[in-house]
Amino acid sequence: MKIQLSKLLPFCILAAGMLWSTSCGKPASASKGGALGSDAASRVYVAPGQYDEFYAFISGGFSGQLSVYGIPSGRLLKVIPVFSVDAEKGYGFNEETKPMLNTSFGFVPWDDAHHPELSQTNGETDGRWCFINGNNTPRVARIDLSTFETAEIIEIPNSGGNHSSPFTTENTEYVVAGTRFGVPYPQKDVAIDSYAENFRGALTYISVAPETGHMEVAFQVLLPAFDYDLAHSGKGKSHGWTFFTTYNTELKSSLLEVNASQNDKDFIAAINWKKAEEYIKQGKFREMPARYASNRYDDSVHGATSTMKDKVKVLIPEECPGLVYFLPTPKSPHGVDVDPTGEYIVGNGKLSADLTVHSFTKMQEAIAKQAFETTIEGIPVLKFDDVLAGVVTKPGLGPLHTEFDGQGNAYTTFFISSEVVKWKVGTWEVVDRAPCYYSVGHLMIPGGDSRKPDGKYLVAMNKITKDRYLPTGPELTQSAQLYDISGDKMELLLDFPTIGEPHYAQGIAASKIVDRSRKIFPIEENKHPYRAMGEKETKVVREGNTVHVYMTMIRSHFAPDNIEGIKVGDKVYFHLTNLEQDWDTPHGFSVMGARNAEILIMPGQTETLLWEPQREGVFPFYCTDFCSALHQEMQGYVRVSAAGANTPLKWKLGDDVMQ
């Protein structure tokens, strides 16, 4: 490499004047090391065996999953399957989790997961659950942080592109789901050109039960068919409100990059959800037809059930005064972020050169004055100057998202100028800036969208990595970059690849989660209908063409491990119970010719793999998770006879013929 460069050097010197943008003439700020903080390595070094200080939950974007990293080390701890099937863990392949991916469209094995959001109590992250939205087939998932598994997925009815979601209220009363696409409401066959008349945008409030976390679609607010981009709920003084950004207030359906970028100002929609609760109580809602799935996983039966719902309560702003106000905000605002006090609402106008900040207090005063600029479908539009708190002038290009450090500073990402800019809340002055490699989208400070930020680290998530890592063909990884923000200046410490495309992320002090993390499932609490609580309970039961194998696993054998009497055309359900009661002793199960995946069974759990043998023969099965010194011996055989054969059903373990 060096030789090549030195050979090229004379040419570069000659050409430098003309070819400023070639690699030899890179501007200093784009040098590969970047503004690396001094002593960065030791500050992200978490010695082998030591724990990280924070968990980071980083969305997997189009992978559909949620990744868990340790901060500051950037070590990947787990990928939690959420909206996409995961053959590694059997998620969506075993019988128990298939219902989790059920929707009104049937089984959907993929989604685009964007915004993780931790549950909060009194505006502070509490480490109980992490929510995340599915964008394409509108859904919201709840991940249980005691198991790090997806516990619930609810579909959002009459919505299209669930992007402004899930963004919790400060006691996790609700998570929200605003539609990115206007769609006919309810869905029907109409001309796309009739967008302005026929299309609507629904903002959905999903209630979260305080003890169980169970989600229900509580109500929807039906608004004009703008594109509802992002959201954040109020906190402190603004608790009771949610703010949604909009673009395409032009109401166009084609060539949006031009047509939806014409209005000088779009809106932030402010929803008074406490008022909405009153209207619901008073019965001022309409019941609309809907079709959506509510899927819940139950740790006691180790399985999920899917329920279809057919109605939704809808509030129409014209019939519910005081429910919705529009705050004019320049140029297609993307993120909307509320500072820890709840006073300031930052509209990140992505096509604007400035950053607009609204005041909650001024918004309340403007509402009291009733001096509205205009009204759209019964929704008052407040006057821009009446609600404006301040403007961060020319901080960068393409502002997207803002987080807070709890010390009066805000940090905003700029996609186009590829940087994070630090500014002071209240004086709106820019105090620092740090480059990102490259094209940063979201950023995350642990607790940075809550009332109590932990302002030590900032993670910026980049869409483009180009030359940052060893090349891997045309498709390159996306990345996250860790900055130390404890001082006056942001310092880049670390740069690490992510799974899928990271959108938003959440961070939380590890201490809030570590002690809640479960080690095993107590076997005596296993209520799976096909469990075998010990080797004495194992059996093989034939019901017509369906065969249920009640099998156990413990280091280092299956019981039974020899099965005969299976026939071509049978549907064989292997119900595996892991009898282990020790931490980190899962066993896996795979059988030759299975056209789904392996299953991975945690201690005390039961999981089921469906196997449909197509040919006669004797087929091996084995444990896929290296469980013990005799893991390789953890194997068995199942004999398959012809469809009409009368091979008797029998099974055994060692010399014990069990039947």
Binding site for another protein (CB under 8 A): 519-520, 522, 524, 554-555, 579-582, 603, 628-630, 633
Q: Which does 551 bind (CB under 5 to 8 A by kind): Cu ion, another protein, none?
A: none
| Residue 452: how many other CB atoms lie within 10 Å | 16
- State how far the alpha carbon of 575 is from the alpha carbons of 362, 568, 585, 605, in Å: 61, 19, 18, 10
Closer CB to another protein, 469 or 626, in the complex: 626
Report CA-CA distances (Å) from 245 to 2, 134, 139, 231, 360: 50, 18, 19, 6, 15
Give the residue from 253, 256, 255, 247 showing the smallest Cα distance to 228.
247
Question: Strands 479-484 and 491-497, how do they pair?
Answer: antiparallel
Task: Find, among 389, 354, 374, the residue nearest to 264 by Cα.
Answer: 354
The structure tokens listed for 473 are: 């063909």
Closer residue to another protein (CB): 35 or 533: 533
Of 354 and 625, CB closest to Cu ion: 625
CB atoms within 10 A of CB 23: 11
**What does 223 interact with, of Cu ion, another protein, none (CB < 5 to 8 A by kind)?**
none
Gap between the Cα atoms of 89 and 67, Å rounded: 14
From Cu ion, another protein, none, interface partner of 554 (C-beta below 5 to 8 A by class)? another protein
Pick the closer one to another protein by CB: 333 or 603.
603
CA pair distance 24, 354, nearest whole angstrom:
33
Q: Which does 520 bind (CB under 5 to 8 A by kind): another protein, Cu ion, none?
A: another protein
Residues found near Cu ion in the complex (CB under 5 A): 587, 623, 627, 634
Amino acid identity, position 572:
V
594 binds, among Cu ion, another protein, none (CB under 5 to 8 A by kind): none
- 369's contact among another protein, Cu ion, none, with CB below 5 to 8 A by partner kind, is none
d(CA 292, CA 158): 9
Residue number, 400 or 601, with CB nearest to Cu ion: 601
Distance in angstroms (rounded) separating the CA atoms of residues 13 and 479:
33
Q: What span, in angstroms and rounded, lies between the C-alpha atoms of 576 and 132?
A: 30
Here the tokens at position 163 are 């992007």
Of another protein, Cu ion, none, which one does residue 475 interact with (CB within 5 to 8 Å by kind)? Answer: none
Closer by beta carbon to Cu ion, 566 or else 634: 634
**580 is in the binding site of which of Cu ion, another protein, none (Cβ under 5 to 8 A by kind)?**
another protein
Stated as kind and residue range, the H or E segment containing 152 is strand 149-155
**Rounded to the nearest whole angstrom, what is the least distance from the CB of residue 555 to Cu ion in the complex?**
6
Q: Which is nearer to Cu ion, 58 or 623 (CB)?
A: 623
Contact in structure between 221 and 270 (CB atoms under 8 Å):
no
**What is the smallest separation between the CB atom of 127 and another protein, expressed in angstroms?**
23
The nearest distance, CB 581 to another protein, in angstroms, is 3
Q: Which two tokens stand for residue 207?
A: 């209630």
Question: What's the token pair of residue 530?
Answer: 């096909």
193 vs 582 by CB, closer to another protein: 582
634 binds, among another protein, Cu ion, none (CB under 5 to 8 A by kind): Cu ion
Residues across the chain: 659
CA dist 76 and 70 (Å) reads: 7
CB of 535 to another protein, least distance (A): 12
- In sequence order, what are the residues at sequence separation of 6 or more whose Cβ sits closer than 8 angstroms to the Cβ of residue 471? none
Pairwise CA distance, residues 143 & 119, whole Å: 10
Per DSSP, the three-state class of 428 is coil
Count other C-beta atoms under 10 Å from residue 49's C-beta.
5
Q: Which is nearer to Cu ion, 400 or 623 (CB)?
A: 623
Q: Which does 537 bind (CB under 5 to 8 A by kind): another protein, Cu ion, none?
A: none
From the list another protein, Cu ion, none, partner contacted by residue 214 (C-beta under 5 to 8 A by kind): none
Q: How far is the CB of 553 from Cu ion (least distance, A)?
A: 6
With beta carbons less than 8 A apart as the criterion, state whether 586 and 604 touch: no
Q: Nearer Cβ to Cu ion, position 447 or 586?
A: 586
Of 318 and 584, CB closest to another protein: 584
Q: What's the token pair of residue 201?
A: 């945008």
| Least CB distance to another protein at residue 574 (A) | 22
